[in-house]
Amino acid sequence: MNSSPDTLARLEQTIASRRTAAPEESYVAQLNARGVPVMARKLGEEAVEAAIAALAGSREELVGEAADVIFHLMVLLGAKDIALADVLVELDRREGVSGIVEKASRNA
């Protein structure tokens, strides 16, 4: 199956539409009902699982865990009313800037 840049936009729309569903019918609704602390913890858990897969898992495990990280990040962003486009603008702003320079500018 092929993917496209629209994949994340479709995922963002799906997450938004499921946010108000009944929690018994939607995992996204369950996460939203449980609140931002639970969503943040779940994102952290998925990030750790991705790191472990990078160190000890197969390529397929890392791909799956990376998808989980992206999904849970987007659920959390949606709960905080942050559009993926806002994150992409920030990435565009950082493009061509050394990571060391960019990080130093945040600590100034």
| CATH pick for 6-82 out of 3.40.50.2000, 3.90.950.10, 3.30.70.20, 1.10.287.1080 | 1.10.287.1080
Prediction pTM value: 0.85
Q: Rounded CA gap, 92 and 58, in Å?
A: 31
Tell me what pLDDT residue 39 has. 98
- As a whole number, mean pLDDT of residues 37-56 equals 98
CB 32 within 8 A of CB 98: no
User: What burial class does residue 56 get, using C-beta atoms within 10 Å of its C-beta: 0-12 exposed, 13-18 middle, 19+ buried?
Assistant: exposed
The percent of residues in the chain predicted with pLDDT above 90, rounded, is: 79
